[in-house]
A and B are shown apart, each in its own frame.
Chain A
């Protein structure tokens, strides 16, 4: 008889609620009260804006990354608490419930980890994650992150711009697109199931990938990425819906043709190749005009390109309704 005993894991550091979050855990209740007062006070006008926005959290312990510089690119908006950023995730390889990745991604092995860069380039190669970490000075960028489902967060991401990394592999003149692939290992991802065609794939036009806003994240809040957030390396594309920011990348390929992307294969009428945040183009089943910032009671308006107009020139002349 086979008796399977679940090992008793100790509490991981990522599971410990930072003190600030613990003290702020009743903010929803406070907001509920404020919201109720606001609603009552403005019965004939528009509802009051929720106050009591989350307080920025300390960047965690000192064992984190050495950061070269910090840039606030979210208009002084308070970052979403670490606890929420790391316990409300879409990472379907570890379950489709938002709380499941934090629960199950512990089985992901992020060392050793090799990134393969191939395709239409003059200097293809493989690079280990620890070498990748030393390649460029690490910087922190606070970006807004908008999910296609209608919620959003503000996150201090740590890493470096994607463009200079891609340039090292010398894409040739045939390279028009960049394809990215997530690790797929059923042994490490026993909860993957058959919801999506694995491995998870994403893609960008080369000029999108080279845009200074396109970022490769290796950490958040000054520490290495937790597994559920896409360790050990992921894209962060703040002007696109979250599913474009592919997690746990093992392969990058320069291509001539537009690569296939997972959500587009799965539901082409709902998820396009571009997936730029756009309040003017609704999802076929729900509105994209507003979003709920985690920690806020009411919804706020969604901004075109998620409030990053500097990318607009990438899409001049492109009908954003057709190429959604």
Chain B
């Protein structure tokens, strides 16, 4: 009985944390506190929230391995979907406010602006992951589901690249995100196998 309730609270907390940035931006929009450049505030706000939640999603597997508890994996899908939702909102704002829904302009940006190419590719990679995130698709795709969902790794790299590329000069903030991502990806490398390989080689000689 107890562990189920604990998971429930954890899920509620995850929902609350993920919804908070949206609620804050919505409130600032309503009360007129988005600053001098409201569109920019909304675009940057949704984009950086998407990136943060994406990194949180990637932190769940290491967290499970560190704590030995199942809860992080139970939260992983919720987080991943929220990251995708924020990314869709981010993309939609760009389409409406920056491009006024013009497809030729989107085409030009995709070809000419590297940061748009990177961001768009990231969104394109994450979309099938969101669509196949259900239990049903997980069952249907079997082992291929896991390989497919490894697309989150290149997608996260693309997201960081998108941010680095658009910053005028001060790259501190995007570099922090990239640093966190590299730690999270580095964690997944088969360090133990490599260590065993080296040790094994030493014992045979």
Q: Tell me whether A and B are bound partners.
A: yes
Closest to B99 in A: A299
Contacting residues, chain A, for B108 (C-beta < 8 A): 287
Contacting residues, chain B, for A286 (C-beta < 8 A): 113, 115, 166
Contacting residues, chain A, for B168 (C-beta < 8 A): 149
**Interface footprint category on A:** 35 or more
Residues of chain B touching chain A, judged by Cβ–Cβ distance below 8 Å, are 29-40, 96-98, 100-101, 108-109, 112-115, 165-166, 168-170
Q: Quote the shortest CB–CB distance from A57 to chain B (angstroms).
A: 13
Which 3 pairs of residues, A with B, have the shortest CB-CB distance?
A88-B36, A25-B32, A84-B36
Contacting residues, chain A, for B32 (C-beta < 8 A): 25-29
Which of B34, B35, B39 makes the CB contact (< 8 A) with A292? B39
> Given A92-B169, A297-B97, 14 more contacts at CB 8 Å?
A26-B31, A29-B29, A29-B30, A32-B29, A39-B96, A88-B36, A88-B37, A151-B40, A195-B170, A267-B169, A285-B114, A286-B113, A287-B108, A297-B39
**Do B36 and A87 touch (CB < 8 A)?**
yes
Encoded as 1 (CB less than 8 Å from any B CB) or 0, chain A from 64 to 99 comes to 000000000000000010011001100010001011
A196 within 8 A of B: yes
**Do A195 and B35 touch (CB < 8 A)?**
no
Contacting residues, chain A, for B38 (C-beta < 8 A): 28
Q: Quote the shortest CB–CB distance from A267 to chain B (angstroms).
A: 8
What is the bound-complex CA distance between A287 and B22, given in angstroms?
29
Query: A96 and B101 in contact (CB under 8 A), knowing A25-B32, A29-B32, A282-B112?
Result: no
Query: A98 and B30 in contact (CB under 8 A), knowing A287-B113, A298-B100?
Result: no
A47 within 8 A of B: yes
- Chain A positions 142-199 with a Cβ under 8 Å from a chain B Cβ: 149, 151, 193, 195-196
Which of A28, A92, A149, A287 makes the CB contact (< 8 A) with B34? A28
Q: Quote the shortest CB–CB distance from A195 to chain B (angstroms).
A: 5
Contacting residues, chain B, for A84 (C-beta < 8 A): 36
Pair count A-B, CB < 8 A: 71
Encoded as 1 (CB less than 8 Å from any B CB) or 0, chain A from 296 to 307 comes to 011100000000
Query: A88 and B35 in contact (CB under 8 A), knowing A28-B29, A287-B113?
Result: yes
**Do A294 and B114 touch (CB < 8 A)?**
no
**Do A294 and B169 touch (CB < 8 A)?**
no
Secondary structure dominating the interface of A: loop
What is the bound-complex CA distance between A85 and B108, given in angstroms?
32
What is the bound-complex CA distance between A156 and B98, given in angstroms?
27
**Do B37 and A99 touch (CB < 8 A)?**
no
What is the bound-complex CA distance between A84 and B97, given in angstroms?
20
What is the bound-complex CA distance between A28 and B31, given in angstroms?
10
A46 within 8 A of B: yes
Which of A32, A46, A96, A294 makes the CB contact (< 8 A) with B100? A46
Query: A87 and B35 in contact (CB under 8 A), knowing A285-B165, A285-B166?
Result: yes
What is the bound-complex CA distance between A83 and B35, given in angstroms?
9
Contacting residues, chain A, for B113 (C-beta < 8 A): 285-287
**Do A47 and B115 touch (CB < 8 A)?**
no
Query: A287 and B36 in contact (CB under 8 A), knowing A96-B169, A96-B170, A299-B98?
Result: no
Closest to B114 in A: A285
Contacting residues, chain A, for B112 (C-beta < 8 A): 282, 287
Q: Quote the shortest CB–CB distance from A278 to chain B (angstroms).
A: 16
What is the bound-complex CA distance between A130 and B136, given in angstroms?
76
A-B contact pairs, 16 of them (CB 8 A): A25-B31, A25-B32, A29-B29, A88-B35, A92-B170, A98-B35, A98-B37, A99-B35, A149-B168, A196-B169, A282-B112, A285-B113, A286-B113, A287-B108, A294-B36, A298-B97
Q: Quote the shortest CB–CB distance from B14 to chain A (angstroms).
A: 29
**Do B29 and A292 touch (CB < 8 A)?**
no
A266 within 8 A of B: yes
What is the bound-complex CA distance between A212 and B105, given in angstroms?
37
Closest to A48 in B: B100
What is the bound-complex CA distance between A86 and B92, given in angstroms?
30
Contacting residues, chain B, for A195 (C-beta < 8 A): 169-170
Contacting residues, chain A, for B37 (C-beta < 8 A): 88, 98, 151, 292, 294
What is the bound-complex CA distance between A118 and B1, given in angstroms?
82
What is the bound-complex CA distance between A87 and B169, given in angstroms?
20
Q: Quote the shortest CB–CB distance from A264 to chain B (angstroms).
A: 13
**Do A285 and B100 touch (CB < 8 A)?**
no
Query: A285 and B115 in contact (CB under 8 A), knowing A28-B38, A98-B36, A266-B169?
Result: yes
Closest to A89 in B: B36
Contacting residues, chain A, for B169 (C-beta < 8 A): 92, 96, 195-196, 266-267
What is the bound-complex CA distance between A29 and B25, given in angstroms?
12
Contacting residues, chain B, for A98 (C-beta < 8 A): 35-37
Contacting residues, chain A, for B30 (C-beta < 8 A): 29
Q: Quote the shortest CB–CB distance from B25 to chain A (angstroms).
A: 12
